[in-house]
Chain A
């Protein structure tokens, strides 16, 4: 079993580049990187700050043979991108890594300041020398982890954990609060949340499945589907459109929520929808290469919703 550096070096023999992470010298946390040769690959790391889903880059690399380091959640995006023909299985070398839950680095920085020293060792997390409760600083998505180990890989780097890292699969941390609200309260909850939105579209750009990118309907001029105002009403509508376009396609990687500069809990919307789709169609996006998306194969004469 090879470490991440050696594995990437091996994979580079058959690929043009490998998508992975390196350590940012200023903050000491991982940042996405591309490796083209053995020398560059020396800088590769994998640790609990490797939160980014690198699959977002695949649709832009259609003409390359690409190696990609993938956690369990990232692998689901890779699978879904293959199913949707955004990337070909043959052009990929997937380097699977086992993940034991990721740190929410932005949350740590917001609380303790950008670049604060973070030491994550097994059961103890030290922030700026202070011992803290690790559970409080892991990514929200890790609380509802679907896949600790990748379901698609050509080679494994390090060790896979073989188990879901958190004790139980849990819904979004805000789920219980949200479902206790009346419809009117839900409306005002989202209005309040979206009042902070600045329409930077970070949620869209980091989403591996939002690959319409430059021709996204939220910004096209002809026709103009969305208004130009930056206000809660527009942002809410835009996000509902995005969520709907991800129906049966969102793999729950949580990147939109991680990227949001103003802390809007976007995965609350997507988690609810993902659960509904799982119930209705027994489909989880990115769970299996063999599965076919319900929107593609649903037959109204045979598969009537609710029939069983």
Chain B
């Protein structure tokens, strides 16, 4: 297998930088120990041992983006509305040091946002960013107490969504391509040949959720007491949805620069917010935290798999690690299974 020594990672990142911006896990200064995927520049330290607080989804779904700009004019000759779409053309972006759960999340999102034309609605922004994203994934030899990706069949061995896999071995990493673009990367003259064996991969917590798909639209849906009890400590912030690699909901709005000109934009939105389902009439079909959390779990483990195929979760554990009130989604899933 191909191999790269740890002290040559910077060299690899520089070569990757020739293809486009490189994003890697880094600890920003003054961020209280938070590790985030951030643009990498030569000289920047990369943090490959610890997990990132935020997922890498903003590379395909930015936290906010302009979709189009519009301008209305009224002259003696008549009225006109000019609409200019946002520029979707872009080169490659390289994501380095994603984990298996991060990479697989892209394929989970693809099931809705990158279906072939004609089959569904199209999200050109997502499609173009996804197509141009190169994903270099670091396989996990150890998880932490929040990881539960082994709930899925392939667990830590999954290569879905990745172009190139890196496996910790010796004083560096073994590399294996899992896509044609990954093959291109292996052709770079930076790799050595190695006889090292790939490492034993981590086995994480397993949470059974198969039975939930039917239950969440059946007995559990009308069981509001169940949701009230489990979400009693929830404060309804957007932490879990915004750190989640597969939550994709957004809100569309116009930013007006005058009464006639403006931009149509979208930003992340979270189903845990009261305003998310507030209707113009003033009615809100999900008025309490229990209603909203029920939807969050229902969407992830029932409605999405029923409509799109995959479960809208990859077991990355981010919603667990930093929840301000220590709400563990696995407790909810297990309790739902037993109810």
Contact = CB atoms under 8 A, between A and B. Distances in A.
Do chains A and B stick together as partners? yes
Given A32-B325, A114-B317, A228 B34 contact: no
Contacts of A228: 64, 251, 253, 255, 265, 267
A259 interface: yes
A206 interface: yes
Contact of A24 (B33, B54, B328): B328
A182 interface: no
A106 B322 contact: yes
B281 to A, nearest CB: 13
Contact of A263 (B34, B236, B275): B34
Interface residues on A, range: 35 or more
Contacts of A106: 322
Contact of A261 (B50, B54, B145, B265): B54
Interface string A22-60: 001011011111100000000000000000100011000
A196 interface: yes
A89 interface: no
Contacts of B63: 198-199, 230
B322 A113 contact: no
A172 to B, nearest CB: 12
B325 A114 contact: no
Contacts of A202: 235, 237-239, 324
B318 to A, nearest CB: 9
B56 interface: no
A200 interface: yes
A271 B325 CA distance: 23
B326 interface: yes
A201 B146 CA distance: 23
A110 B35 contact: yes
A53 to B, nearest CB: 10
Given A26-B145, A106-B322, A110-B33, A214 B275 contact: yes
A224 B237 CA distance: 20
Contacts of B33: 107, 110-111, 263
B326 A261 contact: no
A261 B322 contact: yes
A66 B81 CA distance: 58
A262 B237 contact: no
B64 A214 contact: no
Interface in B261-278: 265, 267-268, 270, 273-275
Interface residues of B, number: 46
Contacts of A262: 31, 34, 36, 53-54
Interface in B231-270: 232-233, 235-239, 241-243, 251, 253, 255, 265, 267-268, 270
Contacts of B50: 110, 113
A196 B34 CA distance: 10
B146 A114 contact: yes
A198 B55 CA distance: 12
Which has the most chain B C-beta neighbours within 10 Å: A29, A200, A259? A200
A26 B328 contact: yes
Given A205-B236, A228-B64, A263 B268 contact: no
Interface string A184-208: 0000000011001011111011100
A214 B243 contact: no
Given A32-B233, A206-B235, A262-B31, A109 B321 contact: yes
A265 B326 CA distance: 21
A138 to B, nearest CB: 13
Contact of B326 (A24, A198, A213, A230): A24
A102 to B, nearest CB: 14
A205 B273 CA distance: 10
Contacts of B255: 227-229
B250 to A, nearest CB: 10
Interface hub of B64, B144, B145, B235 (most chain A Cβ within 10 A): B235
Contacts of B274: 213-214
A259 B324 contact: yes
A196 B238 contact: no
A139 B51 CA distance: 22
Interface in B14-70: 28, 30-36, 50-51, 53-54, 62-64
Nearest to A54: B233
A236 to B, nearest CB: 15
B251 A258 contact: no
A224 to B, nearest CB: 8
Interface in A54-110: 56-57, 106-107, 109-110
Interface string A114-139: 11000000000000000000000000
Given A230-B64, A263-B34, A258 B233 contact: no
Nearest to B317: A114
Interface of A: 24, 26-27, 29-34, 52, 56-57, 106-107, 109-111, 113-115, 192-193, 196, 198-202, 204-206, 213-214, 219-221, 224, 227-231, 255, 258-259, 261-265
Given A113-B50, A201-B237, A230-B267, 11 more contacts: A24-B326, A32-B233, A56-B235, A106-B322, A107-B32, A114-B51, A114-B146, A115-B146, A199-B242, A227-B255, A229-B255
User: What are the 4 A-B residue pairs with the smallest beta carbon separation, nearest first?
Assistant: A115-B145, A263-B32, A230-B63, A31-B326
17 contacts: A26-B145, A32-B233, A34-B232, A34-B233, A113-B145, A198-B268, A199-B238, A200-B239, A202-B239, A213-B236, A229-B265, A229-B267, A230-B268, A261-B34, A261-B322, A263-B30, A263-B33
